[in-house]
Amino acid sequence: MTTSVPSADEARDPFARTASTRRVGLALAMLVAPWLIVVAETAHALTNPHGKDDIDPAVGLALTADHLTVTRWASLAAMLGALLLVPAVLGVMRLVRTRAARLGLVGGVLTATGYVCYFALVFQGAFTSAAMVTVGGSRSQDIDVLQVFNDDRLGAMWVGPLFVLGNIVGTFLLGLAMVRARTAGRLAGYGVMAWAVLHVLSFSPFVEAVAAVAQAVGFALAAVALLRGAGPTHDVPEPYELLRR
């Protein structure tokens, strides 16, 4: 019986054997997730071109009733994108960990948290409204139910602000970390930062769709950089050294 002798990298890092698989998986999430958000934002712009306040239950129900099928598929894309953006953010954090570790950590945690909240908001808002529209019945009662949920301080009241914090501040910091690290080129970082800046300055849902495209391009450039990084490098500090930075 023969036993395989671990390489020098595997002896130093027991996870080196699966490093390539993990890198490819993170890069795929970075490539796919933001484009799902692009689909969701584009559908939102097409179904609500005038930027009506769809957080208002009456407006949200009316828009869902007018575009039921598009709303359901766009919401599914948004939820899948939110799920995949968590490993996508981990990929970016891995890319910036040696040159902008602290900034990448703060921005990454905030961004991931924001998209977890985004998943919850989309699931509650779009699919609940779609179910109400499908079943029919009293529209005023449906509006009252949604309004009670929006006013629930124990649950929904903190999810929205946390989503905004992660979606705007977290994404901006994550992009800034990419600019400072320069491991994927500054254009990648500026693309991610554009998501936050254009959302703050947005005057139209179509601007937000453009912001989503800019973010997707930034993540794609970062994914290519991550894929090009072959194997462990000697300048990567040990895990405990990273925590002290």
Residue span of the structural domain in which 111 resides: 18-230
The pLDDT of residue 234 is 42
Distance CA 23, CA 187 (A): 21
The pLDDT of residue 245 is 44
Is residue 88 situated within a structural domain?
A: yes
* Longest CA pairwise span in the chain (Å): 75
The pLDDT of residue 73 is 94
Is residue 241 situated within a structural domain?
A: no
Is residue 97 situated within a structural domain?
A: yes
Average pLDDT by stretches of 10, the chain with 245 residues: 48 62 92 96 91 81 86 93 96 88 93 94 82 79 80 75 93 95 91 94 90 96 86 45 43
Is residue 100 situated within a structural domain?
A: yes
DSSP 103-149: HHHHHHHHHHHHHHHHHHHHIIIIIHHHHHHHH---HHHHHHHHHHH
Distance CA 70, CA 43 (A): 7
Helix (H), strand (E) at residue 89: helix 68-95
Is residue 239 situated within a structural domain?
A: no
Is residue 46 situated within a structural domain?
A: yes
Is residue 10 situated within a structural domain?
A: no
Domain count, the chain: 1
Is residue 181 situated within a structural domain?
A: yes
